[in-house]
Structure formats: structure tokens, C-alpha cells
Amino acid sequence: MNQNILVIGQGGREHAIAWKISKSPNVSKVYVCPGNGGTELDSSLLNVNLNINDHDSLVNFAKQNNITMTIVGPENPLAAGIVNSFLNAGLKIFGPKKQYALLESSKVFSKEFMKNFNIPTSEYQMFSSNQEAKDFCSTKKHPIVIKADGLAAGKGVVVSASIDESYEAIDSLLKSEHSDYIVVEEFLNGQELSAIYIVNYQGISYEIGLPWTKDYKSRDEYNSGPNTGGMGAVSHPLCFENKNSLFKLHLDIEKILIKTLTSINNYNKDDGVGYLGFLYMGLMINNKDEINVLEYNCRLGDPETQNIMLTLHNKDVDLLDLILGRKNNKKDFNLDRIDNEDNGYCCTLVLAAKGYPESYKKGFYLDLSSIKETDQLVIFHSGTDIENGKIVSKGGRILSVNVYANDRQKAIDMAYEKIKEIKVFEDKDFKHQNQDLVFFREDIGN
Ligand code: AMP
Ligand code: GLY
């Protein structure tokens, strides 16, 4: 059956999902709500100008346009119950219901969940009292990590190096718009890894393991500067040479996945539907190969998705098949990697407005005309609009340059070569070039 798909969201992740799903031979139309400049420029996608918080309008749109499946990109609509609204209206939607999305929407819930179900995570305490949190932090060896309970678009986590910094973080996170609670947790060392699964319509034990990626979260080189949504990503980030240790990691990660899914389904056993959607486990792996869960996200990552979608494209994989579970089997792209000599590597570099994630300018213009996109080189837009055919910035993370190659260094070098070709102008006539309006991290892939 030919499908009409609606993708909800407006970031680089949603551009990448929509781009990839539009390539499926079984897909007719792909709508993106509200989309961005990149989805507007792509002739195979259609932007829809509706408010994603208005579930009734989205349900009506889906009915009127014969949408056969909706895919939810960001976390806020999941936490607000968009999946519940669509299912109640008898519509197919890919994402977890809000009672499952608590894994992401409340840090307190997810830490308690991990503790109760024996899922490895760092030691923690939660607080609603500012003074009690400060008293606790003043006795602790730093660094420690302080997290707001609610969704905060990457701004709710502070890795604090000193007691003064902890006090400041407690004052700003507790009782902010995001939280009546904060979690204070032990700082973990190691390598971070984003392990993302598609928990599809075939149910548990048929989930699809997407290629592992590493996200570069801090704004500046070598993990310095404030936390951001993500400044870049690379595939296959683990530098272990040894196949046995990679295989063991794979098995350990899978055990955590299965425990998570069976436990969250058990927690919601009265619902009877089960977890459906993407499940992202943010992991920390220490030098003894021990794994801890830093966070769950009930959606794909941004910018990991841009990296993964280009990788899937180069492996000739149909995203719709993975979501529907059509091939009737379990699949893990990381196992392929461990088993074969597959050196395919993808590098994602984010171009951001100078000042991001704090205050930054919007409304400047980008000229990408010297970059020729190919099957191995794709630009996904995040914070852009189109004004009289010109690309204008409207967000902190503006776009990403994504390169896939059969060699790690080639992918990284090509991505840096191309991002440097992007020209930035203060004016729509492209007369006043000003590259200082933007920046990118110089160490992605290291
Ligand atoms: P979260 O949203 O919980 O994943 O936190 C955002 C980022 O903060 C993570 O990707 C890590 O880089 C860092 N982080 C969070 N928790 C910890 C921890 N317990 N130890 C070290 N770093 C952490
Ligand atoms: N890149 C991290 C996230 O999407 O949460």
C-alpha cells in the first residue's frame, strides 16, 4: 500500500526523517509540520503550517489528507500525549504514549525506574528543597551533575565543578519553569554512546538496533563550554579494536534494552499497548567496559538522526520497513559492523549561530550554492526559513553538513571542507559577508 506520512517537528532530525522516508518506494506524500527551510526547499516534502501543540488540528489534518502514519520527532508532543490523541481518533502514529514517555519527560521518574528495575545508572538523590540540595552538594566531591526534572531542551543539566557552581545551578534549575524537583547525581567518567532502537509494530525482541553514534554535547572543543542540544555526531564512536569486547558491549546494551522495555511495559500493564516508537539510551561506558544509563529519550536524537539517516541511505535500507517491521526479523546494524569489515563512517557537523546556546542573532542569510549534494553528502536544515528563495537563519543550530564515506578520515575531512564553503551574509543581497555570525566545533571525530 502506498503511504502518506506526516512527520511532526521542525528540526534537523525531522528534516532527516522526512528526507529518508520520502525515498521509500511505498511512500507517496510526506508532510512535515511545521518543517523548516530545508523541508520547504525539498520538492519531495510538503510543509504544513499548524501548531504542534494543537492535537485536534493535527488529527483533523491527518484525517483530511489520508495520512496512513504519523511519525513524532520531538519530545514535547510525546510528553503532552499526542500519541494518545491520535490513537483515540483511530489514527496510526509512531511514538510512545505519554505514560511511557515519562522515561524521558521526568528525570525523577527515570532515575526511580532504573533503581527499581536494577538498570545500571549513577547514584543520585532528588530534592524539592533548595537548602537541602545545597547542604547535600556541599558535602560531595565534585564534579557532580545536577538535573532539572522536566524537559528543558538540553538546558536542564549542569555538570558542576565546584560548590559555588552547584549552588548557582540549584538556584536556576529548582522551581524553574521546568521543575519542582532536581536530581543530583554522581559524575561518571568514560565514553558516551547513543544507542538508539526502533521498537516497531512487531513488538519486543524484534526491535531494530540503529548504528551507534556519538553526540558532541558541549559547545566548545574537548568537552568545554555549556551543554547544547548537540554540535556534531559520528558513527561507530567506540575505539575498541577488539571484536570480542565490542560483541560483549553489544550484548550488555541489549540486556539493558530488554530490561527497560519489559519493565516499562510492566509498569503500564493496564494499558496493554506496550512501548512503540524510538528508544534512545544515552550511555556512559567506562574503561572497564561497564555501562551506565545517563538518560532515556523516547525519540530519535538530534543530530544523531541526521548521521543515522544518511548511513541507512548508503546501506540501501528502507526506513518504512524498519518502522513497520515488515521484514519480520530482528536486525542490529552494529552486529553487521562487528561481523563484517564494514568501515562505512558518517560525520555530522552542526553549523550554529555565534553565542548559541545562550543569546545569538537570527535573520542572517546563508549561501550554500557552492556545495553539491550527493548520496554521500547531504545538508539537513534545523533553524532555517526561506525568504524569497534565500535561506535565512531562525535558530541556534542552523543546519548540519553530513558526509558518509568508506573511510573515517575521508568522511571527517570532507565534512570540514564543505562546512567551510558555506557563506554567511548580513543582507539578503549577499553584499556583506560575515562569517563571524556562525561557528562549528573543530574537533568532531576526535
Ligand atoms: P542527560 O540529558 O541526562 O543525558 O545529560 C546531558 C549530558 O550531560 C550527557 O550527555 C552527559 O554528557 C552529561 N551527563 C549527564 N549525566 C552525567 C553523569 N552522571 N556523569 C557525567 N556526565 C553526565
Ligand atoms: N543529541 C542529544 C539528544 O537528542 O537528546
Same domain as 349, residue 286: no
**Distance between terminal CA atoms of the chain?**
44
Which ligand sits closest to the CA of 294? Answer: 1
Q: Which of helix, strand or coil describes residue 421?
A: coil
pLDDT given for residue 153 in this prediction: 76
pLDDT given for residue 241 in this prediction: 62
pLDDT given for residue 155 in this prediction: 76
Q: In terms of residue numbers, what domain contains 289? A: 191-339
Given a contact cutoff of 8 angstroms between Cβ atoms, the answer to whether 200 and 309 are in contact is no
Q: Which residue's CA lies nearest to atom 3 of ligand 2?
A: 301
Q: Is the pLDDT of residue 237 over 70?
A: no
pLDDT category at 328 given cuts 50, 70, 90 is low
Q: Which residue's CA lies nearest to atom 3 of ligand 1?
A: 295
Q: How many domains does the chain have?
A: 4
pLDDT given for residue 244 in this prediction: 84
Same domain as 227, residue 213: yes
pLDDT category at 396 given cuts 50, 70, 90 is very high
Q: What is the pTM (predicted TM-score) of this model?
A: 0.96
Strand partners, 234: 214, 347
Mean pLDDT of 40-57: 97
Same domain as 362, residue 301: no
pLDDT given for residue 116 in this prediction: 96
pLDDT category at 301 given cuts 50, 70, 90 is very high
In a domain, 329, yes or no: yes
Mean pLDDT of 93-122: 97
In a domain, 112, yes or no: no
Q: What is the DSSP letter of 67?
A: -
Domain finish residue from 152, 170, 186: 186
Same domain as 326, residue 428: no
Q: Which residues line ligand 1 (CB under 6 A)?
A: 122, 145, 147, 157, 159, 185, 187-188, 192, 217, 227, 282, 294-295
Q: What is the CATH number of the domain that holds 69?
A: 3.40.50.20
Same domain as 256, residue 150: no
Instruction: List Cβ neighbours of 211 (8 Å cut-off, separation of 6 or more).
Output: 235, 236, 307, 308, 311, 312, 333, 334, 337, 346
Domain finish residue from 95, 115, 149: 95
CA angle 330-336-338, nearest 5°?
Answer: 125
**194, 212, 278: which to mutate for ligand 2, most atoms within 8 A of CB?**
194
pLDDT given for residue 201 in this prediction: 83
Q: What is the CATH number of the domain that holds 162?
A: 3.30.1490.20
CA of 294 to the centre of ligand 1 (A): 6
Q: Which residue's CA lies nearest to atom 5 of ligand 1?
A: 157
Mean pLDDT of 196-202: 92
Q: What is the CATH number of the domain that holds 393?
A: 3.90.600.10
In a domain, 261, yes or no: yes
Same domain as 90, residue 24: yes
The DSSP element (H or E) to which 292 belongs, if any, is strand 291-297
Q: Is the pLDDT of residue 279 over 80?
A: yes
The DSSP element (H or E) to which 401 belongs, if any, is strand 397-405
Q: Which of helix, strand or coil describes residue 201?
A: coil
Domain finish residue from 146, 163, 186: 186
Q: What is the CATH number of the domain that holds 332?
A: 3.30.470.20
In a domain, 375, yes or no: yes
List, for residues 345-380, the tens digit of each pLDDT value.
Answer: 999 999 999 999 999 999 999 999 999 999 999 999
Same domain as 213, residue 145: no
Q: Give the least confident one: 5-14, 54-63, 91-100, 154-163.
A: 154-163
Q: Could you give the angle at which helices 243-267 and 107-116 cross, rounded to 10 degrees?
A: 110
In a domain, 313, yes or no: yes
Same domain as 144, residue 217: no
Residues 95, 104: Cα–Cα separation, whole Å: 13
**212, 231, 235, 304: which to mutate for ligand 2, most atoms within 8 A of CB?**
304
Average pLDDT, the chain: 94
pLDDT given for residue 337 in this prediction: 80
Instruction: Dump the DSSP string for 176-199.
Output: STT-S-EEEEE---SEEEEEEEEE
pLDDT given for residue 175 in this prediction: 74
Residues 377, 227: Cα–Cα separation, whole Å: 27
Which ligand sits closest to the CA of 146? Answer: 1
User: Within its chain, how far is the Cα of 290 from the centroid?
Assistant: 23
Given a contact cutoff of 8 angstroms between Cβ atoms, the answer to whether 399 and 379 are in contact is yes
Given a contact cutoff of 8 angstroms between Cβ atoms, the answer to whether 209 and 254 are in contact is yes
pLDDT given for residue 250 in this prediction: 92
Q: Which residues line ligand 2 (CB under 6 A)?
A: 215, 229-230, 297, 301-302, 304
Strand partners, 186: 144
Which ligand sits closest to the CA of 123? Answer: 1
In a domain, 117, yes or no: no
Same domain as 325, residue 252: yes
In a domain, 446, yes or no: no
Same domain as 407, residue 304: no
Q: Which residue's CA lies nearest to atom 5 of ligand 2?
A: 301
List, for residues 70-92, the tens digit of each pLDDT value.
Answer: 999 999 999 999 999 999 999 99
Q: Is the pLDDT of residue 94 over 70?
A: yes
**214, 280, 281: which to mutate for ligand 2, most atoms within 8 A of CB?**
280
Given a contact cutoff of 8 angstroms between Cβ atoms, the answer to whether 336 and 46 are in contact is no
Q: Which residue's CA lies nearest to atom 4 of ligand 2?
A: 301
In a domain, 434, yes or no: yes
| Angstrom distances, CA of residue 47 to CA of 36, 91, 141 | 8, 20, 50
pLDDT given for residue 239 in this prediction: 57
Same domain as 319, residue 232: yes
List, for residues 124-157, the tens digit of each pLDDT value.
Answer: 999 999 999 999 999 999 999 999 999 987 778 8
pLDDT given for residue 1 in this prediction: 66
Same domain as 259, residue 212: yes
Q: Give the least confident one: 146-160, 290-304, 357-371, 405-419.
A: 146-160
Given a contact cutoff of 8 angstroms between Cβ atoms, the answer to whether 40 and 384 are in contact is no
Given a contact cutoff of 8 angstroms between Cβ atoms, the answer to whether 206 and 330 are in contact is yes
